[in-house]
Structure 1
Amino acid sequence: MLIASALLSLPLLSLFIIAFGRWERAHAVAYAGCFIACVSLFSGGLEHLGGVWGAPNLVLPFGLPWLKAHFRIDNLSALFLLVINFSGAIASAYAIGYSEHLHERRRVTPFYPLFLFGMNTVLVADDAFVFLVAWEFMSLASWLMVLADHEKPDNRRAAAVYLMMAVFGTFCLLPALGLMAGAGGDYTFAAMRLKDLSGVTGFLVVLLTLLGTGSKAGLVPLHVWLPLAHPAAPSHVSALMSGVMTKVALYGLIRILFDLHGDVGWQWGAAMMVVGGITAVMGVLYAVMQDDIKTLLAYSTVENVGVVVIGLGLAIAFKADGENLLAALALVAGLYHIVNHSVFKSLLFLGAGAVITATGKRSISQLGGLLNRLPVTGAAFLVGAAAASSLPPLNGFVSEWLILQTLFKGPGLPHWAMKFGVPVVGALLALAAALAAACFVRAYGIAFLGRPRTDAARQAGEVTFGMRASLVVLAGACVVLGVIPVTVTDALSHVVQPLTGVSFKVSADLGWPWLSPVSSNRGSYSGTVLVMVGLALFGAVILLVHRFGTEAVRRADAWDCGHREDIPQTQYTGPSFAQPIRRVFGGTVFRARESVVMPPPGDDSPARHTVSMIDPVWDGVYGRIGGIVNWAADLVNRLQYLTVRGYLLMMFCTLVFMLLVVAVRQQS
């Protein structure tokens, strides 16, 4: 009842802001209402997590003429209710202060509750009709918020690409669910679980599901909309699109492949692992080249989606081979990374929004020295950057470590593709983790450390208390999820039990607070013990320094490569920091080219250094498809300029063609 009431309140909040949007405090009231609704939905998810599979459910008398609307909350949907509404509540509280700085907030606030409504309804849907309608609510509401600042050409292009990819995803999911419903047309999920999806039907269901959910999640090469749309949206919307909406897509993938289908071959698991590994590396390579802070974070989301898909692919491969314990471990690892990424990516996007609010700049090369001017924002952003870099004892490390531990068991499967493929995927995952660390060292160091590079950075001030409090809560969650991971993994065991058939606790061998996924004497980790040892060593060092060190204050000029002047241009820039990585990978993957124009002696014009790169996926696939579509549109567009004789001739040819079709069918 609590969840239903909270869900119904979200469309009412949208109507409220439409009716009273001119009232100055209406937007703050709407976001406060969204905060309360998300807290209620989070409480409902927490109440049902670990409950009995298949209960509770609700049937309402609307939908298709022969189908009522079915809703159900099981362990999987309860977990994702927690994921979505934790970040949703924080983003809503953040938006109360942040929305005051938006130029056209009346184009954003009415659709924000509908966006939350769509995502939550996807999770509780128990038939294909409600699932797809909610999926479209989620897509269209977020598209309208991406298009809010439509005066900018880049935003219009981002919205157009996003809409096309959203339509493509639904176009794939619709026949996938139709094939699972079968000729009887029973679109309830309970009926779909009983269907035999073998042969071509099963193949098409898996393929269409991967395409439909992968396009929404951001799998390479279906990721092209994500780095365009996420930066175009307001920052509190970007946080939900990147940290939460991509998780709804992964929920759809898990729901269909592990629950409704339930009998996916190991070949699909191997393919998902490869695609996930390529997605992780390509995403972080894209990210490390970016200068726009929100585009960088969007590409980082592509990387983390790839990491999750590696874990899900492993789970499918192990489950198909009868290794249910290892399948449960891989699924726990994948779900844990979903939880972790939703937290630290929401933190990073909200932190980026605070930086943009304080400076008006999105280019990290125009920032610098912000830690002194935005201490709370800088400290919180540092926690998120360290978590995204998979550094212990934060939460990003734990889930990637669990995925690596599961990968080590992959070569034991009796398939040569897995024996050779798993080490390659493991190497890709390790490479992605290393590049992610370099990416966020670059982003944080250039933006928050050093000296201000522009007057905007020099004059920046801390954001409102509500925005800072939101960042602190998310940073605290990153620490808690990393320091006491056993509590989370034990809760996740309730989620994976119905999907894999076994109840698997990662701490079973050694008990709390140790994670021991492989054995009690190998591959064990405890974030709690690590933090306790670190704090003890930190205290010992402080004690030794104060006991035996000098208390005299020593001052000296900072060494700046021989320059005593306070010249910000002598610092590293974003492009210069990324230059070694660009030269290693960019020349082949991105076709990066550098050119230097040096004026001759006596010419006082400035020297110029330019770098050009391409997006191989866009130029190689989508650019060509777009060219074909434009060519076909131009061809069809000529039809509206025909003469009367031309239209009569076209009608006559159409009639002759239809008569020929009828004649052929009668003879056959």
Structure 2
Amino acid sequence: MISCLPLDLATGALLLWLGLGLLGFLLGGWPTAACRLIFPLSSVVALLLAIAGFSALTAPPDQLQLRGPLPALPWSFQIDPLSGFFLILLGLLAFAVSLFATGYFRTLSGPALRRLVLQYHTFLLGMGLVLLAANAFTFLVAWEVMALASYFLVVTEHEEAGSRHAGFVYLLIAHLGALAILLGFVLLAGAAIAQGGPFSAMLHAPLDPFWASAAFLLTFFGFGAKAGLLPLHIWLPDAHPAAPAPVSALMSGAMLQMAFYGMLRVDFLFLGKLASWWGPFVLGVGLATALFGVLFAAVQTDMKRLLAYSSIENMGLIMVAFGLALIFRAHGLGALAALALAAALYHALNHAFFKGLLFLGSGSVLHGAGSVAMDRLGGLIRQMPQTAFFMLLGTLAIAGLPPSTASSLNGCSCRHSCCRLPCPKAPSARYCPWRPPASCWR
């Protein structure tokens, strides 16, 4: 009875999210009441999910199977330490994002809020189901629910052509990736899929090296499309800026990590016989993705696009650690493989929290200043001191700096020569880079 607690708690939390989405759809005519009721309750449910994840770290794996649409296709769920780790990530991030969404979405009209609340909680439900899925049928359905719900959230402002284009590209890449995952599952356990067999059947899939490599490439391509790896990153720099800030925080902090979870579940656990070239291949893709992301992030002026390219960079870094784990495992170096895998998991957790924080901060800046164009912003620390403080924390985390270096930002004042820079529109005038007047950019 006690051993089933983590799975019962996790499935109960997901059902509550579904219920809150439906309740929010019904209460959409009263936007203030819906925001003040639904999103705080959603944050409480997120904590329950995180508690289930913590419990799963030390509890034995549990399974639950329900009758599906066909007798041979049951709904199958399982919780184990790996899914528990990512449930913690999802639950804690959703807790913070849902609290932030309480105030962020309060200005939406009734019909728009009605749709958004349902899509938001369906998105959370889909990600949770991905982590609990115990057979290929359940996993693919959950993956599709997550993809469709996130698509509708990306096109929240569908009146704008840019949002529609970003949504179309995202949906196209998402379905190409889903098709690749399906084909990879077919190669791994074709007969087991047709019979609704559990994922554990894939551990014993009799594949020769050629078909094992084909399954690896297909699943890595499919999950890489969702993770934003090169050359499948094209959806990410447009989708994140188009989505509302709480949605961007969830997509970057949690949804990208669902792709990493899929790689761990399939490419690391199911494909036990590793080819010697898999690790170097993943390592090369990760290095190229990280380099691409950081180079393009460095030239961005839009805050949300910068964070989107930073997400590409960080997913590349996670793939570097994952590739090293594959290399070490292929050569029988279990301790080094575990160390590399721990680094990848730790950075996934770290990225979820600091990138979620920075996207929420960008949403606060957008609401307060009306723009996220960094070349037009300055001096916000005076008008938005709390946002500035939390953005500073996120910036220190993304830079890997200790908190003690934060004091260096105060070393420059307008009395120093480094703060008397020429204005672009009036070279004879001088300004402080931390508090530039708007007239310099008009």
Give the TM-score, by structure 1 length.
0.60
> Is it true that 1:13 corresponds to 2:23 in the alignment?
no
> Is it true that 1:140 corresponds to 2:148 in the alignment?
yes
Indicate which of 283, 288, 298 corresponds to 2:293.
Answer: 283
Name 1:256's counterpart in structure 2: 266
> Is it true that 1:203 corresponds to 2:213 in the alignment?
yes
Indicate which of 77, 81, 85 corresponds to 2:83.
Answer: 77
Name 1:548's counterpart in structure 2: none
Alpha-carbon distance between aligned partners in 2 of 1:177 and 1:239, rounded to the nearest angstrom: 30
Q: How high is the sequence identity, in percent, across the aligned residues? A: 40
* Conservation of the 8 A alpha-carbon contact between 1:450 and 1:571: no
Q: How far apart are 1:48 and its partner, in Å?
A: 1.2
> Is it true that 1:23 corresponds to 2:30 in the alignment?
yes
* Conservation of the 8 A alpha-carbon contact between 2:422 and 2:430: no
Q: How far apart are 1:218 and its partner, in Å?
A: 0.6
> Is it true that 1:296 corresponds to 2:284 in the alignment?
no
Name 1:600's counterpart in structure 2: none
* Conservation of the 8 A alpha-carbon contact between 2:326 and 2:337: yes
The AA in structure 1 aligned to 2:269 is D
SS in 2 for 1:32: helix
* Conservation of the 8 A alpha-carbon contact between 2:127 and 2:143: yes
Name 2:3's counterpart in structure 1: none
Indicate which of 153, 161, 170 corresponds to 2:178.
Answer: 170
Q: 1:57 to 1:97 in 2, by over 3 A?
A: same
Q: 1:362 to 1:263 in 2, by over 3 A?
A: same
Name 1:386's counterpart in structure 2: 396
Name 2:374's counterpart in structure 1: 364
Superposed counterparts of 1:70-469, under 5 Å = 70-102=76-108, 104-183=112-191, 185-186=194-195, 187-392=197-402
Q: How far apart are 1:314 and its partner, in Å?
A: 0.4
Alpha-carbon distance between aligned partners in 2 of 1:449 and 1:7, rounded to the nearest angstrom: 48
> Is it true that 1:40 corresponds to 2:48 in the alignment?
yes
* Conservation of the 8 A alpha-carbon contact between 2:289 and 2:312: yes
Q: How far apart are 1:82 and its partner, in Å?
A: 0.2
Q: 1:365 to 1:188 in 2, by over 3 A?
A: same
Q: 1:328 to 1:558 in 2, by over 3 A?
A: closer
* Conservation of the 8 A alpha-carbon contact between 2:220 and 2:267: no
Q: How far apart are 1:102 and its partner, in Å?
A: 4.2
Name 1:56's counterpart in structure 2: 62
Alpha-carbon distance between aligned partners in 2 of 1:209 and 1:449, rounded to the nearest angstrom: 50
Q: How far apart are 1:557 and its partner, in Å?
A: 4.5
SS in 2 for 1:62: strand
Q: Which has the larger radius of gyration?
A: 1
SS in 2 for 1:145: helix
The AA in structure 2 aligned to 1:256 is V
Alpha-carbon distance between aligned partners in 1 of 2:393 and 2:411, rounded to the nearest angstrom: 15
Deviations 1:639-664 (A, max 9, x none): xxxxxxxxxxxxxxxxxxxxxxxxxx
> Is it true that 1:66 corresponds to 2:69 in the alignment?
no
SS in 2 for 1:275: helix
The AA in structure 1 aligned to 2:187 is L
Q: 1:362 to 1:107 in 2, by over 3 A?
A: farther
SS in 1 for 2:402: coil
* Conservation of the 8 A alpha-carbon contact between 2:123 and 2:145: yes
Higher helix share: 2
Alpha-carbon distance between aligned partners in 1 of 2:428 and 2:70, rounded to the nearest angstrom: 68
Q: 1:50 to 1:98 in 2, by over 3 A?
A: same
The AA in structure 2 aligned to 1:2 is L
Q: How far apart are 1:570 and its partner, in Å?
A: 4.5
RMSD, aligned α-carbons: 2.7
Q: 1:328 to 1:118 in 2, by over 3 A?
A: same
* Conservation of the 8 A alpha-carbon contact between 2:378 and 2:433: no
Q: 1:127 to 1:228 in 2, by over 3 A?
A: same
* Conservation of the 8 A alpha-carbon contact between 2:130 and 2:143: yes
Moved more, 191-200 or 559-568: 559-568
Deviations 1:206-240 (A, max 9, x none): 00111100000010111110111011111001000
What is the count of residue pairs matched by the alignment?
A: 419
Q: How far apart are 1:336 and its partner, in Å?
A: 0.5
> Structure 1 unaligned runs (5+)?
395-436, 438-444, 452-555, 574-668
SS in 2 for 1:100: coil
Alpha-carbon distance between aligned partners in 1 of 2:412 and 2:101, rounded to the nearest angstrom: 30
Q: How far apart are 1:449 and its partner, in Å?
A: 11
Alpha-carbon distance between aligned partners in 2 of 1:562 and 1:252, rounded to the nearest angstrom: 50
Deviations 1:592-617 (A, max 9, x none): xxxxxxxxxxxxxxxxxxxxxxxxxx
SS in 1 for 2:76: strand
Alpha-carbon distance between aligned partners in 1 of 2:146 and 2:251, rounded to the nearest angstrom: 10
* Conservation of the 8 A alpha-carbon contact between 1:368 and 1:450: no
SS in 2 for 1:61: strand
Alpha-carbon distance between aligned partners in 1 of 2:17 and 2:411, rounded to the nearest angstrom: 41
Alpha-carbon distance between aligned partners in 1 of 2:430 and 2:64, rounded to the nearest angstrom: 63
Deviations 1:510-532 (A, max 9, x none): xxxxxxxxxxxxxxxxxxxxxxx
Name 1:410's counterpart in structure 2: none
* Conservation of the 8 A alpha-carbon contact between 1:308 and 1:337: yes
Q: 1:336 to 1:563 in 2, by over 3 A?
A: closer
Q: How far apart are 1:387 and its partner, in Å?
A: 1.1
Moved more, 308-317 or 382-391: 382-391
Q: 1:376 to 1:193 in 2, by over 3 A?
A: same
The AA in structure 1 aligned to 2:86 is F
* Conservation of the 8 A alpha-carbon contact between 1:344 and 1:388: yes
Q: 1:173 to 1:569 in 2, by over 3 A?
A: farther
The AA in structure 2 aligned to 1:51 is A
Deviations 1:298-347 (A, max 9, x none): 00000000000000000011001100010000000111000100010001
